[in-house]
């Protein structure tokens, strides 16, 4: 089964984890727990063929600026998120997030994603913004930024009401399967770094990293490799990275190893 790797980035507390949990479990989390690194998996049907959509959640806080890029190699599509009721998170899309992902993965397509749209018309939220002479981000403003930054497109959703939620991931799948045409490289331009240059060291014959025990792999929950010729890229969907980003803890059966069945066709992305 082929895998599409989707990495979600953006400021802390803009709703990245809620976005993923709501999509993969149809449930909205009841409390906020800052993410370090999590991964989820769902099965999607594309043209009658099953794909594993690997969803990688990242920490938006500055403390993890050096750890976060460890999840970037071999990404097929990025979701750059901001909250439509947080102008600062919108500014950071241009100032931080797009420069970061284009530095590490210059040829990888990305979508601009507005979250928490259910709060755009919330009176108390509007009042709080007004005290700072701010307003919610409009779709037109976000679409202009998406064009300026050369995002594939702008999409928005609410993880709470699930309005627009499935469309976000349908569009991400399309972007991953039909990426923009690669730019022609100049004659004297150095070659792109190989996978080996980005690879975290591993124990000989094991799946753990150097100096750490091998990864425990649960049968039936391993995400297939992103590229068939590179089996070392596989990550078990039933494991979560620690704050060091180098070893994994087994999840409970009903957490993150949950696999939902979604049917995706081009006609459903209107």
pLDDT digits (tens, 9 = 90+) for 25-65: 999 987 776 666 789 999 999 889 999 999 999 999 888 89
- Per-residue burial over 173-209, b = 16 or more CB atoms within 10 Å of its CB, e = otherwise: bbbbeeeeeeeeeeeeeeeeeeeeeeeeeeeeeebeb
Residue 57 · residue 67 · CB < 8 Å? no
Residue 251 · residue 239 · CB < 8 Å? yes
Which tokens sit at 107?
A: 């040829």
Give the percent of the chain with pLDDT over 70.
Answer: 64
Task: Using the predicted structure, report yes or no on whether residue 171 has a pLDDT greater than 90.
Answer: yes
Residue 9 · residue 101 · CB < 8 Å? yes
| pTM above threshold 0.85 | no
CATH class as words, domain 2-181+259-269 = alpha beta
Q: Rounded to an integer, what distance in angstroms lies between the CA atom of residue 70 and that of residue 16?
A: 18
How many residues are listed for the chain in this entry?
270
Measured CA angle at 18 (ends 12, 19), to 5 deg: 100
Q: How many CB atoms lie within 10 A of CB 246?
A: 16
**Which residue blocks in the chain are alpha helix, DSSP H?**
16-25, 87-92, 98-104, 123-131, 139-148, 165-177, 195-198
DSSP string, 28-45: --SS----SEEEEEEEEE
Give the percent of the chain with pLDDT over 90.
Answer: 59
Closest CA to 172 of 269, 254, 238, 88: 269
pLDDT digits (tens, 9 = 90+) for 110-149: 999 999 999 999 999 999 999 999 999 999 999 999 999 9
């Amino acid at each position: 089964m082929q895998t599409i790797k989707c990495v979600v980035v953006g400021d802390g507390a803009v709703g990245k984890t809620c976005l993923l949990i709501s999509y993969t479990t149809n449930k909205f989390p009841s409390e906020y727990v800052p993410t370090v690194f999590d991964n989820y998996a769902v099965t999607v049907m594309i043209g009658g063929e099953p794909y594993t959509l690997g969803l990688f959640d990242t920490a938006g806080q500055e403390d993890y600026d050096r750890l976060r890029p460890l999840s970037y190699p071999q990404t097929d599509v990025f979701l750059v998120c901001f909250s439509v009721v947080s102008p600062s998170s919108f500014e950071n899309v241009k100032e931080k997030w797009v420069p970061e992902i284009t530095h590490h993965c210059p040829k990888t397509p990305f979508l601009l994603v507005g979250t928490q749209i259910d709060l755009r018309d919330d009176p108390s939220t509007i009042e709080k913004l007004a005290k700072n002479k701010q307003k919610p981000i409009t779709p037109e403003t976000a679409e202009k930024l998406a064009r300026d930054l050369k995002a594939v497109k702008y999409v928005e959703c609410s993880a709470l009401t699930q309005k627009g939620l499935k469309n976000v991931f349908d569009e991400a799948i399309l972007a991953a399967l039909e990426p923009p045409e690669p730019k022609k490289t100049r004659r004297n331009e150095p070659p792109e770094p190989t996978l080996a240059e980005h690879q975290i060291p591993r124990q000989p014959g094991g799946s753990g990293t150097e100096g750490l025990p091998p990864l425990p792999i649960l049968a039936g929950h391993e995400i297939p490799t992103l590229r068939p010729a590179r089996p070392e890229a596989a990550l078990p969907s039933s494991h979560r990275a620690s704050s060091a980003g180098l070893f994994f803890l087994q999840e409970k059966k009903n957490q993150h190893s949950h696999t939902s069945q979604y049917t995706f066709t081009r006609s459903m992305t209107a």
